[in-house]
Amino acid sequence: MTRRELSKTYVLVHGAWHGGWCWSEVKEALRGMGHRVSTPTQTGVGERKHLLSKNITLDTFTADIINHIEAEELNDVILVGHSFAGTSITGVTDKIPNRVRHLVYLDSIILENGQSPFSVPPDVVAVRRKLVAEHGQGVFIPPPPPTSFGIPENHPSADWVKRHLTPHPVSTFDSPIRIDNPVGNGRPCTYIKCTNPIYGPLEETRRWVKKQENWKWQEIATGHDAMVTAPAELSRMLATIS
């Protein structure tokens, strides 16, 4: 086979407080392998922070990625969702499964129909609601420090990440996911767990994944923001997924 015939198409979707920027090194690595890669930013965060409002929901985030895939005329997509973006890739595949080749949940939350991201442990929800009330004008959750994502203070990219993190619309945490089909909608799914350190709020999701038949499970020994702390290893891992 030629390099072109082996090429895959990746859409990498960022998590809360992040933007397409966080995939910088992974994007370049995968492109260097001959793959097509795009890293859209969802409404209200990253370079689209000027669109932040209380009206942004999970439906908005899903529409962002669907519109990107359709506008770029992408097919046979390996759709990767990090952290909060597990909701987005689930929503996308519910609506346009014919465009998706494989779903990759990178240390991400997984919700079933009617659940919201604030289904996470009550103590986590309480802390985030307090931040919204005291510092987020009732509209957004201020970004936590990079250490919250498993990025050590002395990591070379820590300051870069801190500069780029933006407030996240709390309405996306409050809104339920609305899907008509089971999670994954029949497409192949892989879950990648970041293990060092483990991101605590996702334990319920991980238990759910372990019960699913035919899901693939992989682990990477780095923190929650694997695309920042272990981009080369993550890129190689994603390149093997078909």
pLDDT at 4 over 60: no
pLDDT in the model for residue 137? 85
Query: Strands, E, within the chain: which ranges?
Result: 9-13, 36-38, 77-82, 100-106, 140-141, 168-169, 189-194, 216-220
Q: What angle do CA 155, 206, 242 make, to 5 degrees?
A: 80
pLDDT at 106 over 90: yes
Chain position carrying tokens 């289904």: 119
pTM for this model (two decimals):
0.94
**Mean pLDDT along residues 183-196:** 98
Please tell me the distance from the alpha carbon of residue 151 to that of residue 161, in angstroms, as a whole number.
Answer: 9
pLDDT in the model for residue 120? 64
Please, what are the domains in the chain? Answer: 3-239 (3.40.50.1820)
pLDDT in the model for residue 119? 76
DSSP 198: B
Comparing C-alpha atoms, which of 84, 15, 20, 80 is closest to residue 46? 20
pLDDT at 51 over 60: yes
pLDDT in the model for residue 1? 38
| Count helices and strands in the chain by DSSP H and E runs | 10, 8
Chain position carrying tokens 């770029």: 72
- Beta carbons of 184 and 90 less than 8 angstroms apart: yes
| Lowest-confidence region among 127-141, 153-167, 217-231 | 127-141
Active-site annotation, residues: 83
Calculate the average pLDDT of the chain: 94
